[in-house]
Amino acid sequence: MFTGIIEGIGVVLGIRPRQEGVELEIRPEFILHDPRIGESIAINGVCLTATRISTTSFSADVSPETLSRSNLGSLKKGDTVNIERALLPTDRLGGHFVSGHIDCTGEIIGKHRTGAFTIFTIAIPLSYGKYIIEKGSITVDGMSLTVNQVSNDRARCVFSVAVIPHTASVTTMGKRALGDAVNIEVDLLGKYIEKLLDSGRDTPAREAPISLDFLRRHGYS
């Protein structure tokens, strides 16, 4: 579990084929205190497992599914990535609950400055638009951001987010350009609520979920 608060930038040192996936080697541009093999590390918002650790870098395997659902498949040697280590029970929850499981990629279709802030407009597949609400949380390349505006058309969902100067300077977002693909994870709570509502509709009448009427019929008032 993560919060979407990026700890720092990493540089891709190597990309090695590994069966149908790849092994990424990344050098953090900040001090990675007490790294451990087997720990979860989010790279551009993708939860990966550290498999090898050296004094200057760490490596992680990326599965074919992850390559197909995220922008990690387009990384090249020398590219920079956002890094966040897994949440500790004692940490402040500065962003929102982020699983590190990417739903889709989005395309940056707009970028402009408003004072010191940079406004990004991002388009994603329409099927994910139902999970995005104005002033709600969304994860873009691992960053917890607030949705400014959102709209749907027949083909896609389009939303905008504002990036503050600090975030732009310490993450990859400051270098993002029109046409770039970014990893998107929608709010986890929305997906669970949808699943619960759908399962309730599919429940036969004789197995209906507990309601006030059910409790009254069984002696509770």
Range of the domain at 129: 104-200
Q: Is a pLDDT exceeding 90 seen at residue 153? A: no
Average pLDDT over the chain, rounded to an integer: 92
Q: Is a pLDDT exceeding 70 seen at residue 145? A: yes
* Claim to verify: residue 141 and residue 196 sit in the same structural domain: yes
> What's the longest Cα–Cα distance across the chain?
68
Confidence of residue 92 (pLDDT cuts 50, 70, 90): confident
- Flag whether 64 is in a domain: yes
Q: What does the pLDDT average to over 62-71?
A: 96
* CATH number, domain with residue 155: 2.40.30.20
Number of domains the chain contains: 2
Determine the pLDDT at residue 16.
96
- Flag whether 92 is in a domain: no
Q: Which percentage of the chain shows pLDDT scores above 90?
A: 76
- pLDDT tens digit sequence for 53-63: 999 999 999 99
Confidence of residue 203 (pLDDT cuts 50, 70, 90): low
Q: Is a pLDDT exceeding 80 seen at residue 211? A: no
The burial class, CB within 10 Å (0-12 / 13-18 / 19+), for 62 is buried
- pLDDT tens digit sequence for 157-186: 999 999 999 999 999 999 999 999 999 999
